[in-house]
Amino acid sequence: MKNKEKELIAQIDLERMPRHIGIIMDGNGRWASKRLRPRLFGHQEGAKAIRRVVEITVELKLEYLTFYAFSTENWNRPDDEVKGLLKLLKDRLIKEIPELNKQNIYVQFIGTKDRLDPQYLADIEKMAEMTHDNDGMTVNIAFNYGGRQEIIEAVKGMNPEEIASLTPENMNRYLWTKGQPDPDLIIRTSGEHRLSNFLLWQSAYSEIYITDVLWPDFGKIDMLEAIIDFQKRNRRFGGLK
Protein backbone atom coordinates (compact mmCIF):
# COMPACT_ATOMS: atom_id res chain seq x y z
CA MET A 1 0.00 0.00 0.00
CA LYS A 2 1.21 3.50 -0.81
CA ASN A 3 2.34 5.73 2.07
CA LYS A 4 -0.19 8.44 1.34
CA GLU A 5 -2.96 5.85 1.45
CA LYS A 6 -1.81 4.55 4.83
CA GLU A 7 -1.60 8.08 6.14
CA LEU A 8 -5.16 8.84 5.08
CA ILE A 9 -6.56 5.56 6.40
CA ALA A 10 -5.05 6.42 9.76
CA GLN A 11 -7.07 9.65 9.76
CA ILE A 12 -10.37 7.82 9.35
CA ASP A 13 -12.38 7.08 12.45
CA LEU A 14 -13.60 3.55 11.74
CA GLU A 15 -16.26 3.87 14.42
CA ARG A 16 -17.84 6.72 12.49
CA MET A 17 -17.76 5.33 8.99
CA PRO A 18 -20.68 6.21 6.76
CA ARG A 19 -22.84 3.12 6.33
CA HIS A 20 -23.86 3.89 2.76
CA ILE A 21 -22.00 5.89 0.11
CA GLY A 22 -23.51 6.79 -3.26
CA ILE A 23 -21.31 7.80 -6.18
CA ILE A 24 -22.33 9.79 -9.24
CA MET A 25 -19.55 8.73 -11.58
CA ASP A 26 -19.29 11.71 -13.92
CA GLY A 27 -16.73 13.04 -16.38
CA ASN A 28 -15.85 10.00 -18.49
CA GLY A 29 -16.66 11.83 -21.72
CA ARG A 30 -14.61 14.91 -20.85
CA TRP A 31 -11.73 12.72 -19.72
CA ALA A 32 -11.70 11.04 -23.14
CA SER A 33 -12.17 14.29 -25.09
CA LYS A 34 -9.14 15.80 -23.37
CA ARG A 35 -7.15 12.90 -24.80
CA LEU A 36 -8.80 13.16 -28.23
CA ARG A 37 -10.26 9.70 -27.71
CA PRO A 38 -13.84 8.49 -28.23
CA ARG A 39 -16.22 8.89 -25.30
CA LEU A 40 -16.50 5.13 -24.94
CA PHE A 41 -12.80 4.95 -24.12
CA GLY A 42 -13.57 7.21 -21.16
CA HIS A 43 -16.29 4.84 -20.03
CA GLN A 44 -13.90 1.89 -20.25
CA GLU A 45 -11.36 3.70 -18.10
CA GLY A 46 -14.15 4.67 -15.72
CA ALA A 47 -14.90 1.00 -15.15
CA LYS A 48 -11.39 0.60 -13.72
CA ALA A 49 -12.06 3.33 -11.17
CA ILE A 50 -15.02 1.28 -9.89
CA ARG A 51 -12.68 -1.55 -9.01
CA ARG A 52 -10.34 0.77 -7.08
CA VAL A 53 -13.21 2.21 -5.08
CA VAL A 54 -14.61 -1.24 -4.31
CA GLU A 55 -11.19 -2.40 -3.08
CA ILE A 56 -10.70 0.47 -0.66
CA THR A 57 -14.28 0.42 0.65
CA VAL A 58 -14.11 -3.33 1.33
CA GLU A 59 -10.99 -2.63 3.32
CA LEU A 60 -12.84 0.01 5.33
CA LYS A 61 -15.74 -2.41 5.87
CA LEU A 62 -18.32 -0.15 4.27
CA GLU A 63 -21.77 -1.78 4.28
CA TYR A 64 -23.45 -0.26 1.20
CA LEU A 65 -22.01 1.31 -1.91
CA THR A 66 -24.15 2.59 -4.79
CA PHE A 67 -22.73 3.42 -8.22
CA TYR A 68 -24.78 5.53 -10.61
CA ALA A 69 -23.98 3.77 -13.87
CA PHE A 70 -26.78 4.74 -16.28
CA SER A 71 -29.65 7.14 -15.71
CA THR A 72 -33.12 6.99 -17.22
CA GLU A 73 -32.12 10.22 -19.00
CA ASN A 74 -28.94 8.72 -20.47
CA TRP A 75 -31.12 7.16 -23.21
CA ASN A 76 -31.02 10.67 -24.70
CA ARG A 77 -27.43 10.09 -25.79
CA PRO A 78 -26.45 8.93 -29.29
CA ASP A 79 -27.36 5.32 -30.03
CA ASP A 80 -23.75 4.20 -30.31
CA GLU A 81 -22.87 5.51 -26.88
CA VAL A 82 -25.94 3.91 -25.29
CA LYS A 83 -25.21 0.56 -26.95
CA GLY A 84 -21.57 0.81 -25.89
CA LEU A 85 -22.49 1.55 -22.29
CA LEU A 86 -24.90 -1.40 -22.12
CA LYS A 87 -22.33 -3.74 -23.60
CA LEU A 88 -19.57 -2.45 -21.32
CA LEU A 89 -21.67 -3.06 -18.23
CA LYS A 90 -22.40 -6.65 -19.20
CA ASP A 91 -18.83 -7.44 -20.30
CA ARG A 92 -17.25 -5.94 -17.20
CA LEU A 93 -19.66 -7.51 -14.77
CA ILE A 94 -19.10 -11.02 -16.04
CA LYS A 95 -15.33 -10.53 -15.74
CA GLU A 96 -15.60 -9.18 -12.20
CA ILE A 97 -17.81 -11.94 -10.75
CA PRO A 98 -14.99 -14.18 -9.44
CA GLU A 99 -13.31 -11.24 -7.70
CA LEU A 100 -16.62 -10.01 -6.29
CA ASN A 101 -17.27 -13.47 -4.86
CA LYS A 102 -13.79 -13.61 -3.42
CA GLN A 103 -14.46 -10.31 -1.65
CA ASN A 104 -17.86 -11.55 -0.42
CA ILE A 105 -19.67 -8.71 -2.23
CA TYR A 106 -23.37 -8.86 -2.95
CA VAL A 107 -24.33 -7.08 -6.17
CA GLN A 108 -27.78 -5.95 -7.12
CA PHE A 109 -29.26 -3.70 -9.76
CA ILE A 110 -31.55 -0.86 -8.86
CA GLY A 111 -33.51 0.71 -11.68
CA THR A 112 -36.47 0.30 -13.96
CA LYS A 113 -36.99 -2.45 -16.52
CA ASP A 114 -38.45 0.14 -18.92
CA ARG A 115 -36.87 0.17 -22.38
CA LEU A 116 -34.41 -2.63 -21.58
CA ASP A 117 -34.35 -5.69 -23.82
CA PRO A 118 -35.74 -8.57 -21.67
CA GLN A 119 -32.93 -10.92 -22.72
CA TYR A 120 -30.30 -8.35 -21.77
CA LEU A 121 -32.01 -7.77 -18.45
CA ALA A 122 -32.18 -11.52 -17.78
CA ASP A 123 -28.47 -11.86 -18.59
CA ILE A 124 -27.29 -9.16 -16.20
CA GLU A 125 -29.71 -10.27 -13.48
CA LYS A 126 -28.28 -13.78 -13.78
CA MET A 127 -24.77 -12.42 -13.26
CA ALA A 128 -25.80 -10.46 -10.17
CA GLU A 129 -27.52 -13.63 -8.92
CA MET A 130 -24.09 -15.30 -8.79
CA THR A 131 -23.18 -13.04 -5.85
CA HIS A 132 -26.37 -13.59 -3.90
CA ASP A 133 -24.87 -15.84 -1.23
CA ASN A 134 -22.40 -13.14 -0.24
CA ASP A 135 -23.04 -11.24 2.95
CA GLY A 136 -20.21 -8.70 2.93
CA MET A 137 -20.57 -5.27 1.33
CA THR A 138 -23.66 -4.66 -0.81
CA VAL A 139 -22.97 -2.95 -4.11
CA ASN A 140 -25.99 -1.41 -5.81
CA ILE A 141 -25.56 -0.69 -9.48
CA ALA A 142 -28.00 2.09 -10.30
CA PHE A 143 -28.65 1.18 -13.87
CA ASN A 144 -31.52 2.55 -15.92
CA TYR A 145 -32.10 4.34 -12.65
CA GLY A 146 -34.12 7.49 -12.02
CA GLY A 147 -35.14 8.75 -8.60
CA ARG A 148 -38.47 10.06 -9.86
CA GLN A 149 -39.21 6.78 -11.62
CA GLU A 150 -38.38 4.89 -8.43
CA ILE A 151 -40.88 6.93 -6.43
CA ILE A 152 -43.58 6.59 -9.09
CA GLU A 153 -43.11 2.82 -9.40
CA ALA A 154 -43.24 2.55 -5.61
CA VAL A 155 -46.54 4.43 -5.42
CA LYS A 156 -48.07 2.53 -8.32
CA GLY A 157 -47.25 -0.78 -6.62
CA MET A 158 -49.10 0.11 -3.42
CA ASN A 159 -52.62 -0.98 -2.54
CA PRO A 160 -55.01 1.57 -0.95
CA GLU A 161 -54.24 0.43 2.62
CA GLU A 162 -50.53 0.80 2.00
CA ILE A 163 -51.05 4.31 0.65
CA ALA A 164 -53.17 5.24 3.67
CA SER A 165 -50.50 4.03 6.09
CA LEU A 166 -47.53 5.51 4.22
CA THR A 167 -45.05 7.50 6.32
CA PRO A 168 -41.61 9.00 5.63
CA GLU A 169 -40.21 6.18 7.77
CA ASN A 170 -41.89 3.22 6.05
CA MET A 171 -41.53 4.50 2.46
CA ASN A 172 -38.18 2.69 2.31
CA ARG A 173 -39.84 -0.71 2.01
CA TYR A 174 -41.33 0.26 -1.37
CA LEU A 175 -38.11 1.57 -2.88
CA TRP A 176 -35.45 -0.30 -4.86
CA THR A 177 -33.11 0.29 -1.89
CA LYS A 178 -35.53 -1.57 0.35
CA GLY A 179 -34.00 -2.51 3.70
CA GLN A 180 -30.93 -0.34 3.19
CA PRO A 181 -29.95 2.80 5.10
CA ASP A 182 -30.11 6.07 3.17
CA PRO A 183 -26.76 7.22 1.80
CA ASP A 184 -24.82 9.18 4.40
CA LEU A 185 -22.51 10.53 1.74
CA ILE A 186 -22.99 11.20 -1.96
CA ILE A 187 -19.88 11.85 -4.04
CA ARG A 188 -20.03 13.45 -7.47
CA THR A 189 -16.98 13.74 -9.67
CA SER A 190 -16.18 16.21 -12.47
CA GLY A 191 -17.29 19.28 -10.57
CA GLU A 192 -20.99 19.24 -11.40
CA HIS A 193 -23.20 20.45 -8.56
CA ARG A 194 -26.39 18.47 -9.11
CA LEU A 195 -28.04 15.15 -8.30
CA SER A 196 -29.25 14.34 -11.84
CA ASN A 197 -32.15 12.21 -10.56
CA PHE A 198 -29.97 10.10 -8.24
CA LEU A 199 -31.54 8.65 -5.06
CA LEU A 200 -33.95 11.58 -4.72
CA TRP A 201 -35.94 10.19 -1.81
CA GLN A 202 -32.95 8.67 -0.04
CA SER A 203 -30.70 11.76 -0.30
CA ALA A 204 -32.90 13.97 1.91
CA TYR A 205 -30.12 14.24 4.52
CA SER A 206 -27.08 12.98 2.63
CA GLU A 207 -23.84 14.91 2.87
CA ILE A 208 -22.75 15.91 -0.63
CA TYR A 209 -19.09 15.87 -1.66
CA ILE A 210 -18.08 17.29 -5.02
CA THR A 211 -14.65 16.95 -6.54
CA ASP A 212 -13.30 18.28 -9.82
CA VAL A 213 -11.52 14.96 -10.46
CA LEU A 214 -12.93 13.26 -13.56
CA TRP A 215 -14.24 9.78 -12.83
CA PRO A 216 -11.57 7.77 -14.72
CA ASP A 217 -8.91 9.54 -12.59
CA PHE A 218 -10.72 8.85 -9.31
CA GLY A 219 -8.63 6.62 -7.07
CA LYS A 220 -8.30 5.26 -3.56
CA ILE A 221 -6.78 8.51 -2.28
CA ASP A 222 -9.75 10.52 -3.60
CA MET A 223 -12.16 8.11 -1.92
CA LEU A 224 -10.31 8.36 1.39
CA GLU A 225 -10.28 12.17 1.18
CA ALA A 226 -14.05 12.19 0.63
CA ILE A 227 -14.61 10.05 3.72
CA ILE A 228 -12.28 12.21 5.82
CA ASP A 229 -14.18 15.31 4.69
CA PHE A 230 -17.47 13.61 5.55
CA GLN A 231 -16.23 12.90 9.06
CA LYS A 232 -15.65 16.62 9.63
CA ARG A 233 -19.25 17.52 8.82
CA ASN A 234 -21.78 18.41 11.47
CA ARG A 235 -24.96 16.53 10.58
CA ARG A 236 -27.89 18.23 12.26
CA PHE A 237 -30.93 16.59 10.66
CA GLY A 238 -32.89 19.76 11.28
CA GLY A 239 -31.97 19.92 14.96
CA LEU A 240 -29.27 21.87 16.73
CA LYS A 241 -25.64 21.08 17.58
Instruction: Note the residues at the interface with Mg ion (CB under 5 A).
Output: 26
Using the contact rule CB under 6 A, the part of the chain among 111-119, 125-133, 190-198, 232-240 near ligand IPE is 190-198
30 counts as binding ligand IPE under rule CB under 6 A = yes
Using CB distances below 5 to 8 A depending on partner kind, what does residue 8 bind out of ligand IPE, Mg ion, none?
Answer: none
85 counts as binding ligand IPE under rule CB under 6 A = yes
Residue 101 appears among annotated catalytic residues: no
Size of the site for ligand IPE (CB under 6 A): 18
Nearer to Mg ion, 85 or 154 (CB): 85
Using CB distances below 5 to 8 A depending on partner kind, what does residue 69 bind out of Mg ion, ligand IPE, none?
Answer: ligand IPE
27 counts as binding ligand IPE under rule CB under 6 A = yes
Nearer to ligand IPE, 149 or 190 (CB): 190
DSSP calls for 179-198: TSPPPSEEEE-TT----TTS
Nearest distance from C-beta of residue 196 to Mg ion, angstroms:
8
Nearer to ligand IPE, 64 or 215 (CB): 215
Nearer to ligand IPE, 17 or 71 (CB): 71
Contact positions toward ligand IPE, by CB under 6 A? Answer: 24-30, 68-71, 74, 85, 190, 192, 194, 196, 215
Task: Enumerate the active-site residues.
Answer: 26, 74
